[in-house]
Amino acid sequence: MEFIQSTLDKLYPQPSIPLNHKDEYTLLIAVLLSAQCTDKRVNMVTPYLFERADNPYDMSKIPVDEIREIIRPCGLSPRKSKAISNLSKILLDKHQGQVPQTFEELEALPGVGHKTASVVMSQAFGYPAFPVDTHIHRLAYRWRLSNGKSVEQTEKDLKKAFSEDTWNKLHLQIIYYGREFCPARGHQIENCEICQKLNPKGDR
C-alpha cells in the first residue's frame, strides 16, 4: 500500500478531476455522460450542452430530443437525455435546484448509480468515497488488491486497504496511472513501475 501511494504521489501529486465542470450540477451531468464513454469525448460535448443550459432550471426547459442530439456522441443518448431532463426537474421540485449531498438522495435521481454518486460526493462535496471505474477495477485486480469478481467487491477491498483520508485523491491517481502506464491493451510491464513490483509476471 505504501509503495502504491508513494509512487502515485510522485507521479500525480495534485490530480485534477478529468471531467470539465464548474459546479456540482455540471459535474453531476458530466459524470452521468461518462458512463461507457471516454472523459475526452464527454469534455468535447459538454461545452455545447452547458452553453445551452448549465443549471437545472434551464435544462428542464430544453426538449429531451434536443438534449439527445447534443449528447449523441457520448452514446446511450436516448437514456441519458431522459435522465438529464428528469433529474433536473427533480432537483427543482425536491431539492431547491441544488445537488443533494447524500448517497441516498443522489442515487434516487434518474441515471445516477453508486459510482456517479460516489464521484459527486467525493469531488464536489469532499465526502470520503472510492468510486470504482473500469480503470480502477482492472488495476486493483492486476495489483492483487482485489479478486476482480465485481466493482462492488473491489470498492470494499480498496476501502479496507487504504486509509479513508486518501480515498478521494487516490481514486483520481489510479485512473491517471491506468491510462498512462497500465492500460487494458498494449500494457508494457517495463513501463509500469507498480506492476513490476506487485505483479512482475503480468499474469492478470
Element (H, E) at 39: helix 39-52
Which sign, positive or negative, has the C-alpha torsion 15, 42, 181, 197?
positive
Cβ of 8: how many Cβ atoms within 10 Å?
21
Short-list 178, 103, 113, CA closest to 145: 178
**At CB < 8 A and 24+ separation, what contacts does 103-107 make?**
106/28
> What is the set of active-site residues?
115, 133
Q: Which residues of 89-104 are buried (b: 16+ CB within 10 A; e: fewer)?
A: bbbbeeeeeebbeebe
